[in-house]
Amino acid sequence: MQIQAAKVIVTSPGRNFVTLKIETDQGVHGIGDATLNGRELSVVSYLEDHVNPALIGKDPRRIEDIWQYLYRGAYWRRGPVTMRAIAAVDVALWDIKAKMAGMPLYQLRGGRSRDKVMVYGHANGSDIGETVEAVGEYIDLGYKAIRAQTGVPGIKDAYGVGRGKLHYEPADAELPSVTGWDTRKALDYVPKLFEKLRNTYGYDHHLLHDGHHRYTPQEAANLGKMLEPFQLFWLEDCTAAENQEAFKLVRQHTVTPLAVGEIFTTIWDCKDLIQNQLIDYIRATIVGAGGLTHLRRIADLAALYQVRTGCHGATDLSPVTMGTALHFDTWVPNFGIQEYMRHTEATDEVFPHDYSFADGYLHCGETPGHGVDIDEDLAAKYPYKPAYLPVARLEDGSMWNW
Ligand SMILES: O=C(O)C(O)[C@@H](O)[C@H](O)[C@H](O)CO
Ligand SMILES: [Mg+2]
């Protein structure tokens, strides 16, 4: 069996997605997601110029060997562009293998560990009142877990406040727009949001919050401590994690559960965080961390330390990543939760899929493979359109973390 063709499809049904399609001489094809928000075309080039030519003629069943070939063979290791390209190949090959086996992908991992996958949705508003209302809407939709983000008075367009209700999408401008940040104001306002949420809805639902790398370790520790009475499911990206040791300080001061990892690309980014039990949830996902082949290694290491998974699932990852993540979530023994931001209808049409939402849970389908395909004719109707995430600056003009 041989790989006959590998092609990259770029489509923008509301936002940009990069998809790799691998075709075999047996008529079976597989697809993988290679989307890197705001840097999409760099992965297109990486695949078209450097990876795809090397795939032709290879045996698609040798997934592990092809993964090692692309990782070790490049000499230049890790990084978002390289690892997303590897992830796309890896996922397309797992799709092919599962289709050939006539099984849904989770069966090839070891079968079901659970009946359904708990997800969290994104509730946001420009102030506490609006966010509390938005959380209520998610509760009415059946969600068991809800992430709550609020605009903060005096801060211009704070992180997490979207334009649409169910379709939060911050990558909007042809060049990054400028938003603001003020830690003092946020530290004062965010705990009040969670106090109001618990007073309004009680403690039956899981509540989550994303700090988006905005706080120093000391400030993050302070926030975690103030949020303790409100029993969060997790506080995400409370501080930047390039220096994994930074989490020690946070951990020493608060029992609020910590999650991190949506921008991690390999196990090396979270090895110390996991082994020192500095986090509770690892947010790496399929497209970000080298595909199913690598993500399961991260999950296995995490399991040794009772760290659970919480895959990134924002709408800058295509339905291909969501579908594959759901097969991973259905299998992985140390599952925690899955992020679920809904794609727009146009995106769902370009990527027909068999996963479905009901009563706060997502269910992966039973069709062979990962259950997601691409309608190439429809995809061609939505050409690439540059779109960037905003940047953040402090009041005095200093660059901050978006
Ligand atoms: O889903 C999350 O938790 C995020 O932090 C995203 O909103 C993130 O900002 C985007 O995925 C970046 O592309
Ligand atoms: Mg996040």
Q: Average pLDDT in the 132-158 region? A: 95
Cα separation of 64 and 355, whole Å?
26
For 109-400, which CATH superfamily applies? Answer: Enolase-like C-terminal domain (3.20.20.120)
Of ligand 1's listed atoms, the one at least distance from the Cα of 312 is 1
Residue with token string 């400030």 = 219
Residues 6+ apart with CB under 8 A from 274: 282, 301, 302, 304, 305, 307
Helix (H) or strand (E) holding 281: strand 281-282
What six digits make up the tokens of 346? 């146009």
Residue intervals of the chain classified under CATH 3.20.20.120 are 109-400
Specify the residue with its C-alpha closest to ligand 1, atom 7. 314
Residues 6+ apart with CB under 8 A from 7: 20, 21, 23, 52
Look at residue 387 and give its three-state secondary structure.
coil
Q: Which amino acid does the sequence have at 99?
A: K
For residue 361, the Cα-to-chain-centroid distance in whole angstroms is 17
Specify the residue with its C-alpha closest to ligand 1, atom 6. 314
CB 310 within 8 A of CB 282: yes
Q: How confident is the model at residue 28, as a pLDDT? A: 98
Residue intervals of the chain classified under CATH 3.30.390.10 are 3-103
Mutate to test the pocket of ligand 1, among 146, 161, 210, 388 (most ligand atoms within 8 A of CB): 210
Look at residue 400 and give its three-state secondary structure.
strand
For 3-103, which CATH superfamily applies? Answer: Enolase-like, N-terminal domain (3.30.390.10)
- Residue 357, classified by CB atoms within 10 Å of its CB into exposed (0-12), middle (13-18) or buried (19+), is middle
Q: Average pLDDT in the 321-339 region? A: 98
Q: How confident is the model at residue 157, as a pLDDT? A: 81
Q: How confident is the model at residue 167, as a pLDDT? A: 63
Residue with token string 């969670």 = 194
Average pLDDT value for the chain: 96
Cα separation of 1 and 67, whole Å?
17
Distance from the alpha carbon of residue 200 to the mean position of ligand 2, in angstroms:
25
What is the pTM assigned to this prediction?
0.97
Residue with token string 């001061």 = 253
Q: Average pLDDT in the 227-256 region? A: 97
Residue 166 has pLDDT above 80, yes or no: no
**Beta-bridge partners for 208:** 147, 234
Residue 149: how many CB atoms within 10 A of its CB?
A: 24
Cα separation of 62 and 64, whole Å?
6
Residue 132: how many CB atoms within 10 A of its CB?
A: 19
Residue 133: how many CB atoms within 10 A of its CB?
A: 12
Portion of the chain with pLDDT greater than 70, in percent? 98
Report the candidate in 29, 25, 24, 22 with the shortest Cα–Cα distance to residue 8: 22
Q: Average pLDDT in the 16-45 region? A: 98
End-to-end CA distance of the chain: 46
Which tens digits make up the pLDDT trace of 167-181? 666 777 788 999 999
Distance from the alpha carbon of residue 284 to the mean position of ligand 2, in angstroms:
11
Cα separation of 83 and 70, whole Å?
9
The count of C-alpha atoms lying within 13 angstroms of the C-alpha of 391, restricted to the half-sphere facing its C-beta, is 10
Q: Average pLDDT in the 343-366 region? A: 97
Specify the residue with its C-alpha closest to ligand 1, atom 2. 314
Cβ < 6 A, ligand 1 pocket: 37, 210, 212, 262, 312, 314, 316, 339, 389
Residue 159 has pLDDT above 90, yes or no: no
Distance from the alpha carbon of residue 262 to the mean position of ligand 2, in angstroms:
6
370: DSSP letter:
S
Q: How confident is the model at residue 172, as a pLDDT? A: 74
pLDDT bin (cut points 50, 70, 90) of residue 163 is: low
Residue 78 has pLDDT above 80, yes or no: yes
Distance from the alpha carbon of residue 203 to the mean position of ligand 2, in angstroms:
23
Q: How confident is the model at residue 158, as a pLDDT? A: 75
The interface predicted TM-score of the complex, written ipTM, equals 0.97
CA distances for 246 relative to 120, 273, 322, angstroms:
27, 9, 30
**Residues annotated catalytic, as ranges:** 159, 212
Report the candidate in 206, 188, 247 with the shortest Cα–Cα distance to residue 123: 206
